[in-house]
Structure 1
């Protein structure tokens, strides 16, 4: 006798399929997503208010003629004149050259010193906590206060650094009054303040590295130098990339350090892009020109970060395939 298989009947709840064992129903997932967006919406609105709106507003100002009137800002007609004036002005290129040079030199030195400091801290025992606390002191200082303290040390009349140069070299230089010494002093202050940040980030990565790879390297007869370059550094690259990315963003937008130490001088030798934008916007009251400086800087920083992340991701994918 043949048995005929009865057709599957549709569920009575409107056609929704039975949930897969071990997984929540689709409707429950949707409710969770909606609840997540609902709880996150206040934070997203705040982020939009303090980031998205200023960016859009600056972009609009940079493409319009802006007049400052008694009632506030008044937009005229669309124009590309702000960008034309910016890209044909030598002061913009000098500020960009200083900012790029400062970023490259300071981030490179901080990366080297921070990595070396992290390697030393990893091998410390009970004293690690005290050393970390001391390292955090420069990083915890407000940038303006740190810059003001160093301005006393670099002062050409009573500064300790100038006095030390006089004792060692027989002359008391005006460090902040000459272009090259002023730029070097700025790099020294930035390295002193932000190297602890790089060291702590790299130390966190070192603490997470598995110990079996070091045991395998020791069994293979690798020395300390080979172990660092072949084992430690490749595994630290994601952590180092994050530290470098953060430092590039901070260094490229440097404002308070040169503003307090040199006011962008002597002349415009230490004028960063951020200081240039400040002067154009708030001292010259050129709102369209200041917005053009800000937008151009933001585009360059964004392009640099995207390029950096793309190169890093391609390198990681290549290592994974290897």
Structure 2
């Protein structure tokens, strides 16, 4: 059966829609698509600065071969992947716990939810500066608390493992409420009849959670994972404010490495290659999350 042909009114409405959206699409293309494509092009070039601007000396794959052979890039990649996996796993776990508690509340849910969203509402640079004060080796509150139980409290941002842990804590503190809100939206959509059926079958609270709540939350959790993986993999502002990628290169993410290469070392081609490879990895991660999300939706529909 062929689809019905659009009427004259529908065609006029479509043309009007394109007319009104064209300016916005042009702006998006100029400020988003063009810089991305330009960065990809520069990643295949050897560039030097001249009085007239950038001058492409040659087109080459050398930026990528040098990058892939660089231990600094590999260390940044491993840190970014490990940081993303750990923080997202913790945030999803805590987000589910917080969402379940909020779902069980009879009164005061709105106030508690508003308080929980305060960390998420803060600009990351502001929250990073706040945690920088808390981690300060001289007057920081966290350092003072460690001093109560340790003779020599650690220099949190000056030692690799404490610095990575401290940065992860700051990230989890900020983004867990966002995950909890997404999962809470999934919880309130679970029909009450499912809980009643589980209770009739004699299921306890833990069994109900594993067999009723968690399967129903899989599509929502997949969405939360998608958002958090995309954000965590491109993390820049938190390590840049807290540690500048240090101590050494212990907290240097791919985004921080690309920034230093591009703006501090002024290596345009290599910086563009790092940015392009990071974007490609993000796209791969996004596609994997979307595939997982689609499978979860299909399973939920089949069930």
Short-chain TM bin: over 0.9
Partner SS, residue 158 of structure 1: coil
* Bigger mean CA offset, 212-221 vs 281-290: 212-221
Q: Does residue 1:235 correspond to 2:235, yes or no? A: no
The 1:321/1:127 distance shift into structure 2, 3 A limit, reads closer
Which of 242, 246, 253 is the equivalent residue of 1:265? 246
**C-alpha deviation, 1:305, in angstroms:** 1.3
8 Å contact from structure 2 (residues 229, 285) kept in 1: no
Cα distance in 2 for residues equivalent to 1:303 and 1:184: 27
Partner of 2:280: 299
Deviation at 1:47, TM superposition (A): 1.9
Query: Are 2:12 and 1:65 equivalent residues in the alignment?
Result: no
Query: By how many angstroms is 1:315 displaced?
Result: 4.3
Once the two structures are superposed, the pairs formed by residues 70-149 of structure 1 within 5 Å of their partners are 70-149=51-130
Partner Cα distance (1:78, 1:202) in 2: 48
8 A Cα contact 2:156 2:162, kept in partner: yes
Distance in 2 separating the partners of 1:229 and 1:251: 27
1:192 aligns with 2:176: no
Alignment-derived partner of residue 237 in structure 2: 256
Match of 1:276 among 227, 238, 257: 257
Provide the residue aligned with 1:17 in structure 2: none
> Which deviates the most, 138-147 or 183-192?
138-147
In 1, Cα distance between equivalents of 2:281 and 2:117: 31
Q: Identify the range of structure 1 (217-226 vs 298-307) with the bigger mean alpha-carbon deviation.
A: 217-226
Between 23-32 and 225-234, report the one with greater CA deviation.
23-32
- 4+ aligned runs moved over 6 Å, structure 1: none
TM-score (norm 2): 0.94
Decide which of 222, 226, 247 is 2:203's aligned counterpart. Answer: 222
Structure 2 CA distance for aligned equivalents of residues 38 and 207 of structure 1: 40
TM-score of the aligned structures, taking structure 1 as reference length: 0.89
Indicate whether 1:48 and 2:29 are aligned. yes
Whether contact under 8 Å (2:76, 2:254) holds in the other structure is yes
Question: What are the Cα deviations for residues 195-216 of structure 1, in whole angstroms up to 9, with x where unaligned?
Answer: 0100111111112222222222
2: CA distance between counterparts of 1:301 and 1:26?
A: 42
2:216–2:300: 8 Å Cα contact kept in structure 1? no
Verify: 1:167 aligned to 2:148, yes or no.
yes
**Farther-moved stretch of structure 1 (37-46 vs 83-92):** 37-46
Give 1:110 shift: 0.5
The Cα offsets for residues 169-212 of structure 1, whole Å up to 9 and x where unpaired, read as 22221111110110000110000011010011111111222222
**Structure 2: gaps spanning 5 or more residues:** none
Deviation at 1:319, TM superposition (A): 5.0
- Quick check: which has more Rg, 1 or 2? 1
Q: Choose the corresponding residue for 1:33, options 14, 30, 51.
A: 14
Computed over aligned residues only, the root mean square deviation of the Cα atoms, in angstroms, reads 1.8
Distance 2:227 2:301 in 1: 25
Tell me the distance in 2 between the aligned counterparts of 1:105 and 1:55: 29
How far the C-alpha of 1:318 sits from its partner, in A, is 4.4
